[in-house]
């Protein structure tokens, strides 16, 4: 299993981190941790996909991200142990992670200071992703943001060649894009008319990512 976020980290440091990890499994619909829970573990995704959700000011939930194999979440537990989790993470399908407890990571940093590079790499990627989304929110029209999130989800759910099924509702896509459900519906219908995708109940099937990209 490879971890793209850690590609620049010396292999011995990655191996030490993985040696402390515990294998955990979650069935579809199971919560990994809730928003507000004390943060104490980092998770490295081996298989499956999870949704990162947060409560809005209107008391409903919005998806902030969908993560798949090779991605990492819960990293703030290594910086601010015990602080409340900022979001709820739940399994969208049967999922396996490698979890690293904050105490184990702290011990690793004391015994092998180079392990700090693991944390730096993870945080740098998160800052890059959040900066990109902030720039899009400030300067891109909402319909472009919807299409960019569709393309991201197409990559997250791709399994080989051919069409890609994204098993998310239009409300989920709206949360990812920071847009209204009505706007998402309009964008999807426009792209369906162009033949780049098909709208289904609780899912969107992507046929032509490049066709979507031209309008994103």
Domains in the chain: boundaries: 4-137, 141-213
Q: Cα–Cα distance between 38 and 213 in angstroms, integer? A: 40
Q: Cα–Cα distance between 67 and 78 in angstroms, integer? A: 19
Q: Cα–Cα distance between 69 and 179 in angstroms, integer? A: 27
CATH topology agreement for domains 4-137 and 141-213:
no
List residues bridging with 165 in a β-sheet. 205
> Into which CATH architecture does domain 4-137 fall?
Sandwich (2.60)
pLDDT in tens, the chain (216 residues): 777 778 778 888 888 888 999 999 999 999 999 999 999 999 999 999 999 988 766 556 778 889 999 888 988 888 887 789 989 999 999 999 999 999 998 888 888 887 888 888 888 888 888 888 788 878 889 999 999 999 999 988 988 888 999 999 998 899 888 888 999 999 999 999 999 999 999 999 999 999 999 988
Report CA Rg, the chain: 18
What are residue 145's phi and psi, to 5 degrees? Answer: -65, -40
**Does pTM surpass 0.75?**
yes
> Into which CATH architecture does domain 141-213 fall?
Orthogonal Bundle (1.10)
Q: Cα–Cα distance between 4 and 34 in angstroms, integer? A: 26
């Amino acid at each position: 299993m490879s971890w793209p976020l850690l590609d620049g980290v010396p292999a011995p440091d990655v191996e030490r981190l993985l040696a402390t990890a515990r294998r955990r499994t979650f069935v579809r619909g199971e919560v990994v941790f809730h928003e507000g829970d004390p943060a104490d573990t980092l998770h490295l995704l081996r298989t499956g996909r999870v949704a990162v959700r947060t409560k809005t000011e209107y008391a409903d939930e919005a998806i902030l991200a969908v993560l798949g194999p090779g991605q990492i979440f819960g990293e703030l537990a290594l910086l601010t142990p015990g602080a409340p989790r900022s979001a709820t993470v739940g399994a969208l399908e049967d999922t396996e992670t490698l979890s690293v407890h904050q105490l184990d990571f702290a011990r690793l940093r004391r015994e092998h200071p180079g392990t700090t590079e693991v944390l730096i790499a993870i945080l740098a990627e998160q800052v890059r992703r959040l900066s990109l989304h902030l720039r899009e929110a400030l300067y891109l029209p909402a319909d472009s943001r919807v299409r960019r999130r569709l393309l991201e989800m197409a990559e997250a759910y791709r399994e080989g060649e051919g069409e890609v099924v994204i098993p998310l509702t239009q409300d989920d896509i709206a949360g990812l894009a920071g847009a209204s459900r009505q706007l998402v519906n309009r964008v999807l219908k426009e792209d369906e008319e162009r033949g780049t995708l098909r709208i289904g109940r609780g899912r969107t099937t992507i046929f032509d990512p490049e066709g979507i990209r031209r309008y994103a």
